Structure 1
């Protein structure tokens, strides 16, 4: 739905799904864990978030290929959700464990509701795909799904391509007593085929076989251009294989053929206490096992009938774990069309980021940081400032040491190069590489070995914890003394995601902060006990305690008639203690505005409980990733940035940092950022007390505010 069609309405409801979570509450509602009326379910809230991403694929205010990208993202999101979260729930169920979620739901209840809701979600995905394919055709980009639409020249072209590029790669796998069901790789596209022999006139001896669609080849083949038009046509690889099954199964006749995809349990669980001396080797072994976990979902082409039942039985799946797909499986492969030439008119036009804080000479860049802290807002300001800082430090003879955390980094990151050069130039370089960064483990292992080969001292994580904080420390000799320079951020040191994720980061030479960071690095590398720091709050030891204290201070201020307000921006709000503390603050009169992109287990709008709490989610061209925690503090505002969301895993199972913004000019800038986010009436959705999200639109007299675009001026 286009927002233009609703001008003057103020708000409108985006398409909705049957919602079993409508609840009632009273002012006397008990504020306690397990009360289903005051908490939303974590997993179902995540599905709601993916709905909001899917909404963007329907919004015709977005360029066509951007809508397609949003659709592909929902597929990738959904697969990862099943591989980790749903797999974990199924493991509990299969073990006979009925844990209860925050709102009291048993594991089996959550699973049933999840699969039902995801089934509806998948239907909406393919409604979106149908619309997008029609509009692609209007823009002279055609996906040919029916072989009958191929012309004579097309058929010969496809045949030649099959013989030249495809046939030698394929391996038909028959399934019979002497050929057991193969362990099909996670998330690969496959063909399920039933056949019978030419000699079997009654078709009684049916054979079942599988052919994997090669992932090493492009999913879509461009067909020869039409001389009279400039239409670009593409034919799916699986359809090419279907046309040539006779070459694979000589003397056999095809009865049925359908595509399918298996999604498997891919969560990695390591007993680090037993593998402390060999974490790297253990992680490599676990990564090999990821492709072979138990099946948690089967996507199969609609109408597969007998093939669907064969696969379901072989995979030992329940009926509800099968998703019937009407057309193209593996929607994420449609990202192929993002790379087409001459399609800039179908994509966003991203502005060139401001240079931000950068300098060419080492003396001037360090001098600038000594004079003032520098706050960067990505992607509006260039991530290159951080890379430039590292490059200068790697070459500066006065720099003696560099310490850095790497959780996720891009494949072509110059950061790795500069760290290696610094070590080769004789500097003491230590890098904390988190091997357990989910789905980036292989990349991190590869870069860690490259760093070691350059002479960098690499620390492979911490037993029982993930290193999720984003820290860079540079030690420099100046005037016969050592000075420290620090960079802290809310996002990863990843130049690729920095172009599309909103994050904030800080350069500072503040002696208390730099001392805290130095202590934190030494604590991590020495496996020492975490001390209480001066300015920084760190998890897992003190962050949650201090966070709750800051909320309590606002509560006390409200009770004492002082100014009290809380504005939080984060990715997810799950931690029950934080939610309960926010409810108490609301009851005391604290105004609370929450900007939460993804999961939210807090229920706003409960009379007498959370009626002073508003929750909104902003989904748009950039992924809202920054974590900002603002406290009014009786008229003396305190602002913190953090690597952590308010989730138990961040507080208890990760090394995180929350750091203060000390200079007034930066506090005021962040206040403007938060104010703009709270005025957004084009990309923002408000969370209602029944669990639904309402997309905001401008009223007749209200100017349209798109925070992600307007933010460039702040």
Structure 2
């Protein structure tokens, strides 16, 4: 029997061995909801977490659930490796999602009561006093009314386009003095998305409380101004979610940028996948919506305002109330680069690791900006996946190209929900003279890498930055990510080869340092799993510690099971989806899985291998998902510097020691909080804010 067949036999593919990806994602969003429910979390931060739950569910419905519905419509009945058919999974997903939404709105009401005790109220029009009503009436007539467009639905006027995830009002009308037995009239009205969803009401006399009213409440109170001669029988909100996954014909597209622009326009007409309606919606209005959208079994009745994602802006807009927020983080400039005039001279001496958001993203920006103004720099090459709205990096790259440097930028146009922004950046860069490349057909370029080629006295030198997160200064304040600056020869040569493969017709490279998806990253990782298993079988030190966002590839899960069975101690820190079932006797008893959900989004990808006492460690752009390992250009880079290796170990150990915000995955697929149990409480993110805590030794076990 071949080695492959033996390994396949060793892992019996029974349903109980795996957790379903989509159900695991719902468990992750539940952990986010738990943060909104946590009374120890500052109140306005709880409001933000509640908003994130809504945003997460929107993307889940528009992409993952939309995909399941497509499979059902296509008659696809084959079960996935976790044992679910599309129809069976849809039922389970909708049941859990419905329970989550009910719990989310229960939490919303609890948070509103808590906000009220602090002097922040969501009020209704009828509860306003005369002065406040007058102010709100004026706001409606001066600001809101001119923007509104009532749209009747009848034989002469077909149902208008309803945009995905916009809030609308369904209005049931009767003509004045008409027989109430006659069939009612129906119209819809979009709540303007370009106006504030919430409006601050003037303060009452001798009161310090802050009051807010939702714009749809204000519109409903003035609905008669839009339908003169008719009487509104009911006015209720609804919201439609459409399939948002782009179907690209990359092979046949003469211009990928134009093809994506076309698909973005088509997204407006995506197949309906979810209908949210206000609780108690008029039966006639509900029937009209169900008939138009051809949707019957994915309807959510909402007991509260639709689309709580607006709470994120509210929490950030309210002035004062600092006691209800986290204290602002004081980002440090990396000590190794602080007060350094010439970054290149410093980087020639040693590699530098930067840990965001605890250390500032300015170091990365300064690296690119200094390169753009340095006459000795011959070329800058960079990948861009998601960029902030006013990026200094874009301006620096444009300036470098205008000054005559060779600037190559790989812009990923297919970054979901950032496609339009990336198209705008691509055009701006092209106009500046940059060579803009849209990646490889059929693959998203997700690697995070910058290469600077500089002419120096002893010849050309390559300076490389490799990161685990996007080149985005805004998310670098909210996500935990690490970036490595290095001039290591092998890394530099691999960086050049990687850009040549993406931009040209280079044959697959024999990587000296990198692991690159989709060519060999998974193969290299599995090889390292097997090497650890071999060391364990010989009684030598064997351990795997890995930190990333998601684990859903079956081959990776199976290989981890085999390593566990060989005696390898495996600690996984997986923020989101995890299809591996840990702690199962005879299968995975040597594997632990933790998830940390806290103030910052855990986003870094770090892999550690004990290697028989000669540890290896890597940082990467890739999660252990099928899409990352087989359908994206991803990068895994080794950490060679021994001092930085110790720092990387400290970061991992700090996460493993968290007993405040960490949850541990149980064999049954549920997560339980890691309790301090008499030990000193350790909250890894707050410990990391004290920069010295991860730069000094915390290694244990």
> Counterpart of 2:347 in 1: which secondary structure?
helix
Given candidates 475, 478, 486, the residue that maps to 1:508 is 486
Per the TM alignment, residue 593 of structure 1 is displaced from its structure 2 partner at its CA by: 0.5
Q: Give the distance between the partners of 2:551 and 2:261, measured in 1 at CA.
A: 32
Worse overlay, 287-296 or 71-80: 287-296
Match of 2:204 in 1: 226
> Counterpart of 2:15 in 1: which secondary structure?
coil
Q: Give the distance between the partners of 2:51 and 2:657, measured in 1 at CA.
A: 29
1:136 counterpart = 2:126: no
Per the TM alignment, residue 221 of structure 1 is displaced from its structure 2 partner at its CA by: 1.4
Contact 2:466 2:483 in 1 (8 A): yes
Per the TM alignment, residue 291 of structure 1 is displaced from its structure 2 partner at its CA by: 2.0
Contact 1:65 1:337 in 2 (8 A): no
1:706 counterpart = 2:683: yes
Per the TM alignment, residue 696 of structure 1 is displaced from its structure 2 partner at its CA by: 1.6
Alpha carbons of structure 1 residues 419 and 36: separation in structure 2 relative to 1, 3 Å: same
Match of 2:625 in 1: 647
Contact 2:550 2:575 in 1 (8 A): yes
Given candidates 388, 412, 415, the residue that maps to 2:366 is 388
Alpha carbons of structure 1 residues 529 and 100: separation in structure 2 relative to 1, 3 Å: farther
Q: Give the distance between the partners of 2:612 and 2:242, measured in 1 at CA.
A: 51
> Counterpart of 2:413 in 1: which secondary structure?
coil
> Counterpart of 1:167 in 2: which secondary structure?
helix
> Counterpart of 1:711 in 2: which secondary structure?
helix
Q: Give the distance between the partners of 1:285 and 1:60, measured in 2 at CA.
A: 46
Q: Give the distance between the partners of 1:359 and 1:391, measured in 2 at CA.
A: 16
1:413 counterpart = 2:399: no
Alpha carbons of structure 1 residues 311 and 136: separation in structure 2 relative to 1, 3 Å: same
Alignment of 1:468-507 (within 5 A): 468-479=446-457, 481-507=459-485
Match of 1:290 in 2: 267
Match of 1:37 in 2: 16
Alpha carbons of structure 1 residues 487 and 183: separation in structure 2 relative to 1, 3 Å: same
Match of 1:667 in 2: 645
Given candidates 64, 88, 91, the residue that maps to 1:109 is 88
Per the TM alignment, residue 343 of structure 1 is displaced from its structure 2 partner at its CA by: 2.6
Given candidates 321, 327, 349, the residue that maps to 1:343 is 321
Per the TM alignment, residue 360 of structure 1 is displaced from its structure 2 partner at its CA by: 6.3
> Counterpart of 1:380 in 2: which secondary structure?
coil
Match of 2:698 in 1: none
Per the TM alignment, residue 460 of structure 1 is displaced from its structure 2 partner at its CA by: 1.4
Contact 2:122 2:212 in 1 (8 A): yes
Alignment of 1:309-388 (within 5 A): 309-318=287-296, 320-338=297-315, 339-356=317-334, 357-358=336-337, 364-388=342-366
> Counterpart of 1:37 in 2: which secondary structure?
helix
Q: Which digits, 9 at most, give the CA deviation of each residue in 1:589-625, with x for residues without a partner? A: 1111010000000001111110111001000001000
Match of 2:279 in 1: 302
> Counterpart of 2:249 in 1: which secondary structure?
coil
Contact 1:359 1:365 in 2 (8 A): no
Q: Which digits, 9 at most, give the CA deviation of each residue in 1:551-576, with x for residues without a partner? A: 00001111111111111101000111
Contact 1:488 1:506 in 2 (8 A): yes
Alpha carbons of structure 1 residues 417 and 447: separation in structure 2 relative to 1, 3 Å: same
Alpha carbons of structure 1 residues 595 and 709: separation in structure 2 relative to 1, 3 Å: same
> Counterpart of 2:160 in 1: which secondary structure?
coil
TM-score by structure 1 length?
Answer: 0.94
Q: Give the distance between the partners of 2:401 and 2:266, measured in 1 at CA.
A: 34
Q: Give the distance between the partners of 1:595 and 1:361, measured in 2 at CA.
A: 35
Match of 1:588 in 2: 566
> Counterpart of 1:76 in 2: which secondary structure?
helix
Given candidates 214, 221, 244, the residue that maps to 1:236 is 214
Contact 1:619 1:683 in 2 (8 A): yes
Contact 2:17 2:581 in 1 (8 A): yes
Contact 2:234 2:282 in 1 (8 A): no
Worse overlay, 509-518 or 250-259: 250-259
Q: Which runs of 5 or more residues in structure 2 are unaligned?
A: 1-7, 695-701
Q: Give the distance between the partners of 2:363 and 2:95, measured in 1 at CA.
A: 47
Contact 1:474 1:486 in 2 (8 A): yes
Match of 1:161 in 2: 139
1:454 counterpart = 2:450: no
Alpha carbons of structure 1 residues 325 and 336: separation in structure 2 relative to 1, 3 Å: same
> Counterpart of 1:567 in 2: which secondary structure?
strand
Contact 2:619 2:636 in 1 (8 A): yes
Contact 1:558 1:588 in 2 (8 A): yes
1:175 counterpart = 2:153: yes
Q: Give the distance between the partners of 1:231 and 1:661, measured in 2 at CA.
A: 54
Worse overlay, 109-118 or 160-169: 160-169
Match of 1:89 in 2: 68
Q: Give the distance between the partners of 1:224 and 1:421, measured in 2 at CA.
A: 48
Q: Give the distance between the partners of 2:637 and 2:180, measured in 1 at CA.
A: 75
Q: Give the distance between the partners of 1:291 and 1:359, measured in 2 at CA.
A: 48
Match of 1:72 in 2: 51
Per the TM alignment, residue 708 of structure 1 is displaced from its structure 2 partner at its CA by: 0.6
TM-score by structure 2 length?
Answer: 0.95
Q: Which digits, 9 at most, give the CA deviation of each residue in 1:222-254, with x for residues without a partner? A: 111112011111111111111111111111111
Contact 2:448 2:468 in 1 (8 A): yes
Per the TM alignment, residue 351 of structure 1 is displaced from its structure 2 partner at its CA by: 2.5
Per the TM alignment, residue 305 of structure 1 is displaced from its structure 2 partner at its CA by: 4.2
- The runs of at least 4 consecutive aligned structure 1 residues that moved more than 6 Å come to none
> Counterpart of 1:105 in 2: which secondary structure?
coil
Match of 1:260 in 2: 238
Contact 1:532 1:542 in 2 (8 A): no
Q: Which runs of 5 or more residues in structure 1 are unaligned?
A: 1-28
Q: Which digits, 9 at most, give the CA deviation of each residue in 1:407-443, with x for residues without a partner? A: 0111111000111111112111110000000011111
Q: Which digits, 9 at most, give the CA deviation of each residue in 1:670-706, with x for residues without a partner? A: 111111111110000000001110012211x310000
> Counterpart of 2:240 in 1: which secondary structure?
strand
> Counterpart of 1:168 in 2: which secondary structure?
helix
> Counterpart of 1:529 in 2: which secondary structure?
coil
Contact 2:11 2:562 in 1 (8 A): no
Match of 2:257 in 1: 280
Q: Give the distance between the partners of 1:32 and 1:181, measured in 2 at CA.
A: 54
Given candidates 54, 79, 95, the residue that maps to 1:100 is 79
Per the TM alignment, residue 199 of structure 1 is displaced from its structure 2 partner at its CA by: 2.9
Q: Give the distance between the partners of 2:200 and 2:688, measured in 1 at CA.
A: 40
Worse overlay, 438-447 or 519-528: 519-528
> Counterpart of 2:255 in 1: which secondary structure?
helix
Match of 1:9 in 2: none
Q: Which digits, 9 at most, give the CA deviation of each residue in 1:284-337, with x for residues without a partner? A: 11111112211100111111140223212221112x300010011110112232
Q: Give the distance between the partners of 1:568 and 1:348, measured in 2 at CA.
A: 29
Match of 1:193 in 2: 171
Per the TM alignment, residue 34 of structure 1 is displaced from its structure 2 partner at its CA by: 5.0
Q: Which digits, 9 at most, give the CA deviation of each residue in 1:246-285, with x for residues without a partner? A: 111111111121111101101111021111x310000111
